[in-house]
Amino acid sequence: MSPEEWTYLVVLLISIPIGFLFKKAGPGLKRWGAAAVGLGLTLFTCGPHTLHSLITILGTWALIQAQPCSCHALALAWTFSYLLFFRALSLLGLPTPTPFTNAVQLLLTLKLVSLASEVQDLHLAQRKEMAAGFSQGPSLGLLPYIPSLMETLSYSYCYVGILTGPFFRYRTYLDWLEQPFPGAVPSLRPLLRRAWPAPLFGLLFLLSSHLFPLEAVREDAFYARPLPARLFYMVPVFFAFRMRFYVAWIAAECGCIAAGFGAYPVAAKARAGGGPTLPCAPPSSLEEASALEYDYETIRNIDCYGTDFCTRVREGMRYWNMTVQWWLAQYIYKTAPTRSYVLRSAWTMLLSAYWHGLHPGYYLSFLTIPLCLAAEVRLEAALRWRLGPGGQQAWDWAHWFLKMRAYDYMCMGFVLLSLGDTLRYWASVYFCIHVLALAALGVGLAVGAGGPGRRKAAPQAAGLAPEKLREE
């Protein structure tokens, strides 16, 4: 592990006992205490580069105050433009920020765009009430007021997820501050239940990264190996990549659980990133609060089993970095300048790559996803329905195998980063996933969705499934 990885791990682990300290505190202590801890961690890891996060916050707050009815688009443009400046600092001869500063800036961008959207929704709801002449009552997920500058700063620097996520909305943060009877919200058992696989994942990460180091792929000797060896190597590289993030995100979730952050009654049917989807009245007594069953779906960032064993590429996206996937679906996918599922996915993946950074490997990897999505949707709509139950089961197993190989292949661009290293590796395996996806798309288009009566229904079913996933 690098010194940076050790720092991330220490920050994640100390967040757990800090969470237990804040769990039963009052709203004021939670707000300012959590902000003080977060600001302290930011100053410790980022030093003077903390100024970048402060400039981003102040700029977003000014836009919210100036144009509350259209601040979402303005905040998106401002924060994403600042990301470009932030990443071009070395080219401008200015000090290069630390990797921790980049992590803070990434999460802050998500939070501020979401905050601007929530304020815009509130402003529009208030205008509708004024036009109607009566109040419709509180709406699910709507903010009760526009946060002040100090409240915006406290949300932005809250220690929860400040370096690694999960992303959370201001409404989620406010619900934590005002949580009724926090002592009734379970923490220890859910934390232990969530944390138990993390040590195993950590050991597997250390073992796989030691046996199959990424640096080997950058050496000339690697390309003298036979093709099967080169093809196989991307499997343990992606395995190590997954294990690393599984540990980080599970630890981050445990920090939230310790503080009771993101806990909602199961009846609210909360979803990762977005929070409750159904109204649920707050308990009026300690006994009522203790009788409720709670979950932490709102801050759930990874479904390890789903990531490894789901069948389709689009399902794999749903289970990975779940709170950020919700953000992308809510604020990028739904507002894309096209209605085509594949083109909207491509637009979302392009902005996702930009959010991650300027390395060409991000763009090569993320922009391969829409091709894989189009191929699996078309081929499945054309052929799977023709098979019997046994054939469909075999199809799903083959689909799962190819899905994992597609993510292995795309991961190489994500970790190699440079254009030359990524293309060199992909060329050494003959761009196999690109070729396979193009062939599958061609077969799907040639065969079509089936015979009469199914030719129309199958494409619609295939197209609706991804849309439904986005809505969920």
Residues 29 and 168 in one domain: yes
pLDDT tens, position by position, 360-379: 999 999 999 999 999 999 99
In a domain, 261, yes or no: no
- Contact between 425 and 360 under an 8 Å Cβ cutoff? The reply is no
In a domain, 367, yes or no: yes
In a domain, 472, yes or no: no
Residues 168 and 315 in one domain: no
Residues 150 and 9 in one domain: yes
Peptide bond into 166 cis (omega under 30): yes
Type and span of the H or E element at 446: helix 432-447
Total number of domains in the chain: 2
Q: What is the mean pLDDT of residues 177-192?
A: 94
The domain of 94 spans 3-178
Tokens of 267: 């009846």
Predicted local confidence at residue 470, as pLDDT: 39
**pTM for the predicted model, two decimal places:** 0.91
**Residue 108 pLDDT greater than 50, yes or no:** yes
In a domain, 273, yes or no: no
In a domain, 221, yes or no: no
- Contact between 38 and 154 under an 8 Å Cβ cutoff? The reply is no
Residues 24 and 166 in one domain: yes
- Contact between 328 and 348 under an 8 Å Cβ cutoff? The reply is yes
Buried/exposed code over 8-30 (b: 16+ C-beta within 10 A; e: otherwise): bbebbeebbebbbebbbeeeeeb
Say how far apart CA 448 and CA 445 lie, in whole Å: 5
Residues 166 and 23 in one domain: yes
Residues 172 and 315 in one domain: no
Type and span of the H or E element at 108: helix 99-132
Predicted local confidence at residue 303, as pLDDT: 95
Residues 308 and 167 in one domain: no
Give the strand pairing for 264-265 and 294-295. antiparallel
Q: Which of 149, 178, 207 is the C-terminal boundary of a domain? A: 178
pLDDT tens, position by position, 200-211: 999 999 999 999
- Contact between 434 and 393 under an 8 Å Cβ cutoff? The reply is no
Q: Which of 112, 146, 178 is the C-terminal boundary of a domain? A: 178
pLDDT tens, position by position, 57-75: 999 999 999 999 989 999 9
Percent of the chain topping pLDDT 70? 93
Q: Which of 127, 162, 178 is the C-terminal boundary of a domain? A: 178
In a domain, 71, yes or no: yes
441 — alpha (psi -120 to 50), left (phi > 0) or beta? alpha
In a domain, 81, yes or no: yes
In a domain, 212, yes or no: no
DSSP structure class, residue 268: G
Nearest C-alpha neighbor of 435 from the set 443, 133, 78? 443
Residues 316 and 168 in one domain: no
Predicted local confidence at residue 134, as pLDDT: 60
Residues 6 or more apart whose Cβ sits within 8 Å of residue 187:
19, 20, 23, 257, 258, 259, 260
